[in-house]
A = this chain, B = another copy of it.
Amino acid sequence: MTIPHVGPPVDAQTIDDAEAHLRERGMRVSTARRLLLETLFAAERPLSAEQIAAGLDGRLPRSDLASVYRNLEALEQVGLVRHFHLGHGPGLYALASRQTQELLVCERCDAVLAVDPGELDPVRERIRADFDFEARFVHFPIVGLCARCASAPAEAGEADR
């Protein structure tokens, strides 16, 4: 394992905030980075690198996928971006200022339950007390069954993704 290092999340509310942050770190504000930031600011929910490269289904110009990955990593390192994994499938990226919630994902219907920071503290506390372990649900969410699926009859031929 070993999760990407991210500086503390940066609270950038605008593209200008984000660009200022980059410059403060001596990083360049290139066309590709500006476009990536535009995409993330315009996005309503976390996106895969592929979706970002696709420019919001064509509403923005397409970017090179390798550069997108490189830039996502760069921006994540300075705390502007964060990403997480919803089980299998590609990583999902969002502005750190937007994606502050922690997630619980239903493994049957893929429903995502997003909870505000702190709401999982009692759970973390229980784990700390019982196992001397600091659980973090930021990069890999909690997986299980949502209320609806948990009470539904066990599906017979349940297929993998």
Give A contacts to B, CB under 8 Å.
1-5, 73, 86-89, 104-108, 110, 113, 115, 119, 122-123, 126-127, 130-137, 139-140, 142-147, 150, 155, 157-161
Contact partners of A155 in chain B: CB under 8 A: 5
Contact partners of A135 in chain B: CB under 8 A: 104, 142-144
A-B contact pairs, 19 of them (CB 8 A): A1-B88, A1-B106, A1-B110, A2-B87, A2-B107, A2-B110, A5-B155, A5-B158, A87-B140, A104-B127, A104-B133, A106-B133, A107-B136, A122-B130, A123-B123, A123-B130, A132-B147, A134-B146, A140-B143
Copies of this chain in its oligomeric complex: 2
For residue A3, which residue of chain B has the nearest CB?
A: B107
- What's the Cα separation between A131 and B142 when bound, in Å? 11
Besides A132-B146, A133-B150, A134-B147, 19 more A-B contacts (Cβ < 8 Å) are A1-B89, A1-B143, A2-B108, A2-B160, A4-B158, A5-B155, A5-B157, A5-B159, A5-B160, A73-B160, A115-B131, A123-B127, A123-B130, A127-B142, A133-B144, A134-B145, A140-B140, A140-B143, A142-B142
